[in-house]
Chains A and B, each alone.
Chain A
Amino acid sequence: MSKMNLSTRMILVLTLITVLSGGILAGWDTITKPKIAFHRQEALKAAIGDVLPAHDTYMSEETEFGTIYIATRDSSEQPVGIAFMAVGSGFQGELRIMVGLSPDMTQLTGIKVLEQIETPGLGTKIVVDPSNKQDPYWFPAQFKGVHVSPELVVVKNAKPTHTNEVQGITGATISSKAVTDILNKQIADIKTAWTSRGGPES
């Protein structure tokens, strides 16, 4: 090895290390990939189950505004709810929220924040609020049954008085507003997609 030209040796050693690394990672990926995909699928299924009323099955459908999930029950064609993934900017980074809508698209049936990097202890209350021991999920839970028209509104330091209002999180107004802003914009898009498809049947 020592007789070899230094440049040749550098190239040879680095190539060897990277090839070995690539091999290890390729092998490890084939082992872990199905499990990671499975967890992602389960998380999606659980999130749809959380935001929509009881249903037997759902089918996904591609629209120009992304995938929507149409849930049905008792082998009826009539949907019991429509879910979709809303994505947008939070206080610090991207928020991914599973949103459930009633079939006539007038009310939310639930929301669940799946991914966020909000401020721990403040903005993270959009997922769970450990400081509220009676009702840690009060923030996402209050979206159930809220009317989406004309638009969702956050009220500060007060109980909501209108059917389109939700209570904001003290100390995390931007995170609370981010959720409603993302919902307002993307519900409008999904409504357009749903109408152009022939629904809602009213």
Chain B
Amino acid sequence: MSSSLSLKAEFVKGIWKENPVMASLLGLCPTLAVTNAANNGLAMGLATTFVLLSSSLMISALRNFIPHQVRIAGYIVIIATFVTVADRFLAAYFPSISASLGPYIPLIVVNCLILGRQEAFSSKNGIGRSLLDSLGMGIGFILVLVVLGIIREILGSGSIFGMAVLGDWFTPWMVMILPPGAFLTLGILIALANWYNDPSRSKERRAVS
């Protein structure tokens, strides 16, 4: 059952081709909820990647010991443990980030991106491959969250990472930092990605030339 891709492909696939948000539409709750500023997107992406990596490490190491019938219960306990570790870490060392992300850090437990990777990959592959897969997926997730955060923050607050970049002439588009702005931006990004990836597009081009 284990994957036959090269190690490099295992790592790279999560960044674009199988990007958890753009291709699989996984983990949409935090993607939509916390990307009203680039900082928040980055912090959420890093916390999720930490949980993804540590859970994958544990679950791929234990994959032959956990009976099939109770695997989900086991995975959830492992994931919840690392989420709590991340949540307490932020509260202890980065209280301001912890305050601005509020309940969304504990909610990483139910992020289907994490359980999805464990079920689809780490439970069937060795530690090395699982870590590479998680790292790729995590980076893919961070990239989408930061790009969404930057677009929404520029249009919604006129700043990037909290630094004002647009002058006083700019009236912030309030909708961009509200939930509809998240849906609009993500929808347009996914549409662009699908257009770019569309195989028929390159055929048409060939036919014309």
Contacts and interface: CB of A to CB of B under 8 A. Distances in A.
Interface in B39-86: 62, 65-67, 69-70, 73-74, 77-78, 80-81, 84-85
Contacts of B80: 21
Given A14-B70, A39-B92, A122 B85 contact: no
Contacts, number: 74
A36 B91 contact: yes
A39 B77 CA distance: 28
A171 B174 contact: yes
A29 interface: yes
Interface residues of B, number: 32
Contact of A14 (B36, B73, B91, B95): B73
B88 interface: yes
Nearest to B173: A121
Contacts of B91: 32, 36, 39
Given A25-B81, A120-B178, A13 B74 contact: yes
Nearest to A171: B174
A9 B67 contact: yes
Tell me the interface secondary structure of chain A in the complex: helix
Contact of A121 (B62, B66, B84, B172): B172
Interface in A176-200: none
Interface string A85-119: 00000000000000000000000000000010101
Interface of A: 1, 6, 9-10, 13-14, 17-18, 21, 24-25, 28-29, 31-32, 35-36, 39, 43, 115, 117, 119-122, 130-131, 133, 171
Given A36-B92, A121-B174, 12 more contacts: A6-B67, A10-B70, A14-B77, A17-B74, A21-B77, A25-B81, A25-B84, A32-B91, A39-B95, A117-B102, A120-B178, A121-B172
